Amino acid sequence: MNLIKSKRRVADHGEVFTPPWLVEKMLDLVKGETERIDSRFLEPACGSGNFLVPVLQRKLAAVEVKFGKTEFERRHYSLLAVMCTYGIELLTDNIAECRANMLEVFADYLNLNETDELYLAASYVLSQNLVHGDALTMLTHDGQAITFAEWGYLGKGKFQRRDFRFDVLTQMSSFSQECSLFAHLGKHEVFRPLKAYPWVVYRYLVCYLFKRLRKHNHTADHLPQDAMHHMPCFKFLLA
């Protein structure tokens, strides 16, 4: 594995990739968390996924141990594993590679193809969880405040989402300090979500993906022409 892409990128962005053997040793320091399906990981300079891909692989291994014999739960908890991995990356090519690498690991584990609804749902989740932006300024590449989706699995195929601003979440430690102006406030008062969504099944996330593609004038040419019309939530695409 090459630890740099070019000397120019090292000079301009300080881009150096962590070797896999060191990644594994570092993850072993929090081994229990890496093997817990619903533990959340954020890599603020995620590159092409040097840390996030092994984290997802460990989570999927935990899914296999716990739910390998139940296909319904195996599929849903695998999606939850994806939902609990987050990243921020400054460089355009890296964030695209990271999303693709994560999606490939997920699809290979469940033997999915590109038209499978679960594949598309995971693609949407990764478009939300892996942000093209700057962790230092806490802004996206187009100058918006970075917002993360907190996903939860309610069981029986139901997922729920709440959105939080990254800059607010990073202030959690200061709110808990005794001398802080906000020390008397409970976390439930300070960290209110920007938005809370009703629960959905994962096929509805596919509709959000299509809406996102349409919003940014992108296409999904790899899908059948009538794919959207088979979605039970197709009406959302017309909203």
DSSP state, residue 86 = E
Q: Please give the share of the chain, as a percent, with pLDDT higher than 70.
A: 74
Residues 74, 153 contacting (CB under 8 angstroms): no
Residue 234, pLDDT score: 46
Strands (E), the chain: 41-43, 85-89, 130-134, 139-140, 147-155, 158-165, 195-196
12-47 tens-digit pLDDT: 445 556 788 999 999 999 999 999 999 999 999 999
pLDDT of 3 above 80: no
What's the CA gap between 84 and 134, in Å, rounded? Answer: 20
87-129 tens-digit pLDDT: 999 999 999 999 999 999 999 999 999 989 999 999 999 999 9
131-172 tens-digit pLDDT: 999 999 999 999 999 999 999 999 999 999 999 999 988 876
pTM for this structure? 0.82
